[in-house]
Chains A and B, each alone.
Chain A
């Protein structure tokens, strides 16, 4: 990239530092020289100008050069990225854009993403274990993220700065080890470094924080952490450090109390709070926020909890502390779970107005607390989400509080289960799509919950064409419907008789690995049979053939199941009946015969009998094609299944199909009487 820069005349003059600078400013003299011919310029007789560099220009007014617009190092990239929209046909960019490598089911999505990350993790591990292998350091400036983390063993000189650098890098265990080593050496550490270490250790509970680079691991993490259990390390490093810090100041108390509250050692947190209060120490806002969030754990009933909440807030006011969004959300959370929902609800609204007065605007997390309290499953219907949407619609939010990411999934759940309001759900979705708001979707679990609620709501409340427009956009790259959702969709398709969507849905079912779901397979066969189109137009014949192919594919899939699978689908009579009917209706008699052969082969694991109407349908087709063997097979099965209609069937076969003597004997055998003789009697009579 070549850069051309034009240098203004004035700067040139500065650079040359001419004596005549003051008088030579272009435009002051103005009319000095009219000769613009450069070659003549040197011989031009203008004696005055020869002394002044470049003052030949005849400028009427000074030129205003606009000030450069300041920009950050990544602003251009961000602006360019802003021109790119979402491509719904492409997988997420962490996957390879190639048909062989695009994940098509929830399991493969998870597997591919985590495998990739696992490789990254393994590389990191090797790098950390064998730093000596990576001596080739030609990066300039050095990229610290690519270098192994420093450890205590290879620290050149152990000082306070070592601890500080470990803290800055987020290496909690190393920082703790360094502190212990320094203490053993008898070094005199400053209170500043002790305070910094206490804050870090209390924040992480003395454990190594999870790696920031492993995004997918966090994305797919199931929330297994038991949130409300006391996991604080009792008399651990943090508490010892706190003792070492004596005399403890307010910052030390704040750090430890915050940590205790975060890891739910509630009694100790409040004990320390009392201690600090009695010493007259001033705590900071985050500490109060942490204390407010555990009020419900230290008091037993609603009144006492309210009292404590009020007391804490009053204390904040006394100490002239400005409440922040953390204070608001903690107060709302406490109010929501205060024990009595009626009191909780009114308290929430009071808190909200109070904080608005104090200049704290609610974040998405605050609204999340409100809707989870107001719209409980078994509570009365509340339309508070409509009011909230009226308030926040079209706004773009910045993340302010950890609970912000729960808003959308909970709002969508309220739309589906509590209100069953499609318009509201669409408004919520619109908000999610505004600006960068999609960042609030949370993790993979929240995202799939969100879309599950949205999809079920839409499929039930929307015309089916509109729903499938939405479905085509979303599936499979953003969301893959779970089996239960797929079942819901199939049911709606059946209800609407929208059989033309079946081929697409079936190919999706195969893609998403749902062919081992018995309910889906049964439902699919039932729809195929029940909604099979009449063979009147070319189009419907084509569709019918496609449906027949689907039915046959289902047959093959179920027949070729591996025996050692944990989930094996066993045929039911109904499934086989539906299957046979579809095959007959799509004029694939050969395949239907194969099913019949399977039915009459001994030792089949088939639950229940095939319905009679499917058998009749098959028999009609077999008789039409004069396939006497298949007619007999059908008769045999009908008789074995115990249908009393077998004798009628036998009569029909004898009447309509030419049979040889052996076959006639078999028919008589099955029917238990001489069929042809009976027929003759009937004719005679």
Chain B
């Protein structure tokens, strides 16, 4: 090993003999300067390592943002891999960045938001505790939609649409008005739920559409109530359902019953207790077997033929004319 003394020296160790003359280098070789290595800055450790276990998480992650491994102190793994290979951890994991996370909506955060928003809320009226009371007091529901999206414009043409819904029962219609109303609203009425739904979207503004909807309800209401002269011309064929009381069948049954009543061989017990005056087309309706017959035949016409309705009908006819059981 060679050892030298540490005599301080001002000589620069730039290479070449300092006693030698400098050479004149006419044809310079193209010596590429080696690319200077960029100095890499020291990186701080991921900041989750500095987080305490008692920290306030909603302050760390206050709003929705893409997952970042250095800021989330959870040992997460995600992604599909072939078997016998561990699932990739959170660092550099695209799968974790792709999926929306709900780290900003932890239960304590939501609770805190609710507390903060309470001051903008009014108490629910004490009188409106039951669903039925609410339906009675507020029969009409108005539905609108507001749209919020990140684009240069805050307008959305769908916001103008008004949907109004109410139960038909709240209109308190009689038979005629109800029938007329249903004919006017068409498929806007839902039999199952008894709801009438009116959607208005022909005007450009929401308020205009609301006014229009209100106008429509008003017009429908009064139109249904009014009785036009021509409505009395409604014939049996115009009926929306079979009504025995208005059919020819009633007339005929009356005739038959009258013939049987006159006949000495009247074997119908219920006819014996009936006055002659009662045997009119309108009078016979109050006789019990006739009533049963009426219900049976109306059912079979309006609800269709089933085993039940047909056998009911048969029974009512047998009872009516005292025929032997099948």
Contacts and interface: CB of A to CB of B under 8 A. Distances in A.
Interface of A: 1-9, 12, 15-17, 26, 36, 38-39, 41-43, 46, 49-50, 52-59, 61, 63-69, 71, 75-76, 79-80, 82-87, 89-90, 97-100, 102, 104, 138-141, 143, 472, 476, 510-511, 599-606, 629, 632-633, 636-637, 640-641
Place the interface of chain B in its size category: 35 or more
A599 B8 CA distance: 11
Interface in B1-48: 1, 3-9, 11, 13, 41-48
Contact of B218 (A1, A15, A64, A139): A15
Nearest 5 CB-CB pairings of A with B: A38-B169, A66-B122, A57-B136, A6-B138, A139-B152
Contacts of B125: 63-66
A432 B60 CA distance: 22
B116 interface: yes
B122 A69 contact: yes
B231 interface: no
B143 interface: yes
A83 B113 contact: yes
A26 B218 CA distance: 20
Interface string B129-147: 0001110111111111111
A546 to B, nearest CB: 15
A629 B3 CA distance: 10
A523 to B, nearest CB: 20
B222 to A, nearest CB: 8
B42 A510 contact: yes
Contacts of A99: 43-47, 70
B137 A8 contact: yes
A71 B122 CA distance: 13
Nearest to A639: B5
A85 B59 contact: yes
B6 A600 contact: yes
A3 B178 contact: no
A143 B109 CA distance: 33
**Highest count of chain A CB atoms <10 Å: which of B6, B42, B171:** B6
Contact of B44 (A7, A41, A511, A600): A511
A38 B167 contact: yes
A59 B136 contact: yes
A42 B137 contact: no
A574 B5 CA distance: 19
Contact of B1 (A49, A64, A65, A629): A629
A41 B153 CA distance: 49
Contacts of B9: 602-603
A511 to B, nearest CB: 6
Contacts, number: 210
A680 B41 CA distance: 59
Nearest to B57: A87
B120 A84 contact: no
B315 to A, nearest CB: 27
Contacts of A54: 136, 139, 170-172
Contacts of B217: 15-16
A666 to B, nearest CB: 8
Contacts of A68: 122
Contact of A61 (B43, B127, B134, B144): B127
21 contacts: A1-B145, A2-B144, A4-B142, A7-B140, A12-B139, A56-B136, A59-B136, A63-B125, A64-B127, A67-B122, A79-B119, A84-B59, A87-B59, A89-B47, A97-B68, A138-B152, A138-B153, A476-B44, A600-B4, A603-B9, A606-B6
Contact of A139 (B47, B137, B153, B168): B153
Nearest to B194: A38
A471 to B, nearest CB: 12
Interface in B193-235: 194, 214, 217-218, 221
Nearest to A55: B172
Given A6-B138, A98-B70, A50 B172 contact: yes
A161 to B, nearest CB: 27
B201 to A, nearest CB: 15
A15 B222 CA distance: 13
Contacts of B5: 600, 602, 636, 640
B148 interface: yes
A604 B7 CA distance: 8
A98 B70 CA distance: 7
Given A76-B117, A84-B62, A87-B59, A603 B155 contact: no
Contacts of B283: none
B121 interface: yes
A71 B214 CA distance: 29
B173 A599 contact: no
Contacts of B171: 42, 53-54
